[in-house]
A and B are shown apart, each in its own frame.
Chain A
């Protein structure tokens, strides 16, 4: 009797029993595919410069391994624990962003904090700010007494969001700004914000964007990229170059692609930033339409599981967190793939799990960890 009762208890209570295997497998698959793509994009150049051709892949593997551990750690604590400390996480990410503004702390490009004594370790605070904002907004909105967010709640959300966004913006990371906006909007929508409030927000955002362009807050090269996207024929060569080479790479892939490691656009380094922002061009050139579709299917499954978890969650915090993660992944996938195929402007947004980059990999793993966590504890 005891034994049977114990088993039932285990089935019902032990969260590990309710792990989402599909989500886990899809995430791991994406990580593995990413390493193959990073190798293809970097090995020639590394070898030509006299480095180990596996250098980038090895580094990516190390962060991925840390990331997988992070997934498990994040999934272990009850996610409601994060609700309690959401404010601290948010504050910590703001602090990291602020550190970047201290002269001497930031790396040459201004986007990373160099950890002294560890040349390989660079922290990109903007990436971590996504998690901070996501948690703090979910925590705040899940504690509302009213069924829908009222105007003052929306206002509070805006203050929190704009603080993060502002600090990221001063580092010229337009791509991350867009992701933060998407996270905010996604959570607001799922939390049931009234349409009129959303409409007002949209107008405010448009005004802000207009002002940013007018006052020169948007730098020239960023504006150039947007005009290059809108009007290819009349934009400067430099701005067009990335997009042209990206389109040639993907377009020349055809139905089945040129074969792994045989893409000329990829191997000869035509596509700039290929192992980071333009990683999808490797898929397009070397694996063709079918390969691109396969990768999109993996992402679709990832998003489907995220939205499903948002739906299954038994408390609003879990729902909002899952919805925020879904929004975060969705906007990154859409803008990143969209820019490589020329339907979105070029902004520095990495493709989740596939692009080379340590901080992004860790943040993506944290996000998957949060999703798994919500899924595992949906019955409590």
Chain B
């Protein structure tokens, strides 16, 4: 075997040579020439191209599209590149010719200070394909100009539900710096206002990413791994487009009709603004939410024209203000169900008790001569129910005085401000928690408020009038229409103060339910028995049958479709009265809807708001809508 040993030694020698060669080569690469390779490694770089996810849709309760997506070619200009080229004027002129848009408009949008210095500014949307082709072919004529294929919003229902939707806007400097938008890039759109903002994180989806290797010259050498974008989830609303459209049409119709009527001073009613809210009392779902004046959400997809801008920015109209959640109004008599029940809970009144309804009311012990009047002459002793049916003001004043004395004697106690505490339990003076941003809390004046408003309360001291007038939703008490609707919902469902919600569920792109939005109806309003709430509901049925809304509901089949409601006519300083009607519709044991209508400067509740609600009910239930026209003289 010695020969074998010799041959194996040859093999071993070969192997040794082999390792020597590899080691020598490695020494050269890794020790002698390493600097050159290190710098080459640095020149290699990877470019990340992010691909946008398709944003989720907004659907109505039946799955019909309210907000979907469409493609838009957008022109964006990187200012630093444009200015660095030293040819800004020439480029703007070229863009003017190419886009056929006025130079002023282009410069105005270039001067927008909404964006960070390095963030490309959008100057035109929905440009033609030939514009993109032209810019691509003439890069030297357009330094800093890029054409971005953006996915923008489309509103197949037009102006319907404009106030709740919100818009998309290019992320601004402030947002870019906030941690909430950490994963956003400088070219990203974000939801602004409305549902787009509330459900941003669901609608948005996840971006995809493509990696390319580029060499030192920036040429793409090849594509690396890519991550496909994940489309956003759809938001399905409790809003029923049919109900929404009915509410919108009837509110406008009712407001138009109001403008043919005159107020008690003989002036034509202005009917300057209005709201309708329709809630499902079983779970707090918002079936319709209308605010007038309105606007067209399509205006915001592109930059609005000058005329549109002027209209949108008109402070008197405030067309973009969602008055249902962002407007505060004196609820007037429509508030009496809450203030009366609060007096019952406080122990000042009972359901079998009879209390005076007089023409004038003077706070006990007040010798200043100040008196609070009823809206009509009266001198009787009536129950709570009757007080609601007749909408007697002075009946409620008595308990305002009681609340005042309670405060006077318990100023330092925790619940010294018992009236405000009880109102708060009904959701007033706080946000309802609806899934819309920037909700107003209304006004609930108290001793602190008085101190801050010495112009209203003499020397900043809380007065009996603060309690007395708050009892009828006037002077020192304001509510959003939604807050009032929510309180009526709690009466309708016998004590569940649900959270109103526009969205019902979040759906994945393939239609599976990702998340249900709950109204949190399981909690009960504390301290009210079902009997008490049923008593009020019965009283409200009396209002349409024989009370202040009897004329407005004349001929309505109340036995088939029970409607309980309360009118409200709220004085509003120098303006005309605010007209209210808040109602509970459907079977008494299990009502279908809570509908609240409000028309600013609309006159009496029975005159404008109640007929609007009547016609909405008629159309929802498929009845022949009653011609608007009970010329009621019922003031409240």
Binding site for B on A (CB under 8 A): 45, 48-50, 186, 189-190, 192, 241, 245, 247-255, 264-265, 268-270, 284, 288-289, 292-293, 296, 299-300, 303-304, 307, 310-311, 316, 319, 323, 326-327, 330, 333-334, 337-338, 341-343
Cβ-defined contact, B26 with A292, below 8 A = yes
Complex contact A268–B213 (CB within 8 A): yes
Q: Does B33 contact A (CB under 8 A)?
A: yes
The 6 closest A-B pairs by CB, nearest first: A251-B37, A289-B30, A252-B41, A48-B225, A254-B34, A252-B38
Q: How far is the CB of B382 from chain A (nearest CB, A)?
A: 71
Are A330 and B41 within 8 A (Cβ)? no
Decide if B30 touches A319 in the complex (CB within 8 Å).
no
Interfacial chain A residues near B37, Cβ < 8 Å: 247-248, 250-252
- With both chains docked as a complex, state the minimum distance between the C-beta of B31 and any C-beta of chain A, in angstroms: 6
Would you give the shortest CB distance from B460 to chain A, in whole angstroms? 64
Report the separation of the CA atoms of residues A334 and B23 in the bound assembly, to the nearest whole angstrom. Answer: 11
A-B contact pairs, 22 of them (CB 8 A): A48-B211, A49-B225, A245-B44, A247-B29, A249-B41, A250-B26, A251-B34, A252-B37, A253-B30, A254-B30, A254-B34, A255-B30, A268-B211, A284-B30, A289-B30, A293-B26, A307-B12, A319-B4, A319-B8, A337-B22, A338-B22, A343-B22
B13-21, B341-349, B390-398 - interface stretch: B13-21
B227 at the interface (CB under 8 A from A): yes
A27 to B34, CA, bound (A): 31
In the bound complex, residues from chain A placing their C-beta under 8 Å from that of B18 are 330, 333-334
Kindly state whether residue B7 has any CB partner on chain A within 8 Å: yes
Main secondary structure of the interface of B (DSSP, over half): helix
Contact for A311 among B5, B22, B26, B226, CB less than 8 A = B5
Chain A residues whose C-beta falls within 8 Å of the C-beta of B44 in the assembled complex: 245, 248, 264-265, 268, 270
- List chain B positions with a Cβ less than 8 A from chain A: 1, 3-5, 7-8, 10-12, 14-15, 18-19, 21-23, 25-27, 29-31, 33-34, 36-38, 40-41, 44, 46, 209, 211, 213, 221, 224-227
**Do A192 and B3 contact each other (CB < 8 Å), given the known contacts A186-B11, A254-B38, A303-B15?**
yes
Closest-CB distance, B530 to chain A (whole angstroms)? 54
Closest to A333 in B: B18
Could you say which of A50, A247, A252, A311 contacts B8, with CB atoms under 8 Å apart? A311
| Given A190-B4, A289-B27, A319-B4, CB of A330 within 8 Å of CB of B15 | yes
Q: Give A190's nearest chain B residue, CB to CB.
A: B7
Q: Give every chain B residue within 8 A of A292 (Cβ-Cβ).
A: 26, 30
B8 pairs with A341, CB closer than 8 A: no
B71–chain A nearest beta-carbon distance, Å: 26
List, in ascending order, chain A residues with CB within 8 A of B5's CB: 311
For residue A269, which residues in chain B have a CB less than 8 angstroms away from its CB? 211, 213, 224-225
Which residues of chain A are near B41, meaning CB under 8 Å? 248-249, 252, 264-265
| Alpha-carbon distance between A288 and B226 when the two chains are bound, in angstroms | 30
User: Do residues B30 and A50 form an inter-chain contact, with CB atoms below 8 A?
Assistant: no
Is B7 within 8 A of A241, CB to CB?
Answer: no
| Chain B residue contacts of A326, Cβ below 8 A | 11, 15
17 more A-B residue pairs beyond the given contacts A268-B44, A284-B26, with a C-beta to C-beta distance below 8 A: A48-B225, A48-B226, A49-B225, A190-B4, A245-B44, A248-B44, A250-B29, A250-B37, A251-B34, A252-B34, A255-B31, A292-B30, A293-B26, A304-B12, A307-B15, A323-B8, A334-B21
Indicate if the CB atoms of A342 and B25 lie closer than 8 Å: yes
| B30 pairs with A307, CB closer than 8 A | no
Please, which residues of chain A bring their CB within 8 A of the CB of B226?
Answer: 48-49
Bound: A342/B225 CA distance, A: 27
Contacting residues, chain B, for A45 (C-beta < 8 A): 224-225
The docked-state distance in angstroms from the alpha carbon of A255 to that of B29 is 10
Cα separation A323 to B14 with both chains bound (whole Å): 13
Check A49 against B227 for contact (C-beta < 8 Å): yes
Complex CA–CA separation, A314 to B34 (angstroms): 48
Does A341 lie within 8 Å of B22, measured CB to CB?
Answer: yes
Taking the nearest CB of chain B, how far is it from the CB of A198, in angstroms? 12
Q: Which residues of B have CB within 8 Å of A49? A: 225-227
User: Which chain A residue has the least Cβ–Cβ distance from B38?
Assistant: A252
- Once bound together, how far apart are the Cα atoms of A330 and B18, in whole Å? 8
Closest to B21 in A: A343
Please tell me if the beta carbons of A250 and B227 are within 8 angstroms of each other in the complex.
Answer: no
Closest to B24 in A: A343
CB of B227 within 8 A of CB of A48, answer yes
CA gap between A307 and B221 in the complex, in Å: 45
Q: Cβ of A333: which chain B residues have Cβ within 8 Å of it?
A: 18
A253-B34, A300-B19, A307-B11 known; A341+B29 contact, CB < 8 A: yes
Cβ contact within 8 Å between B213 and A270: yes
A289 touches B31 (CB 8 A): yes
Residues on the B chain within 8 Å of A264, using CB: 41, 44
CA distance A254 to B40 in the complex (A): 13
Report the Cα distance A311→B4, complex, angstroms. 7
Q: Are A251 and B22 in contact (CB under 8 A)?
A: no
Contact: A334 with B26, CB < 8 Å? no
CA distance A378 to B1 in the complex (A): 14
Residue B38 contacts which of A251, A270, A327 (CB distance < 8 angstroms)? A251
Q: Are A189 and B10 in contact (CB under 8 A)?
A: yes
Give the complex CA separation of A3 and B8 in angstroms.
41
- Chain A residues with CB below 8 A from B213, complex form: 268-270
Closest to A241 in B: B221
The answer, among A189, A299, A337, for a CB contact under 8 Å with B7, is A189
| Interchain CB contact under 8 A, A327 and B11 | yes
- When the two chains form the complex, which single residue of B7, B36, B209 contacts A48, counting CB atoms closer than 8 Å? B209
Contact A190 to B11, CB < 8 A, known contacts A48-B209, A251-B36, A254-B31: yes
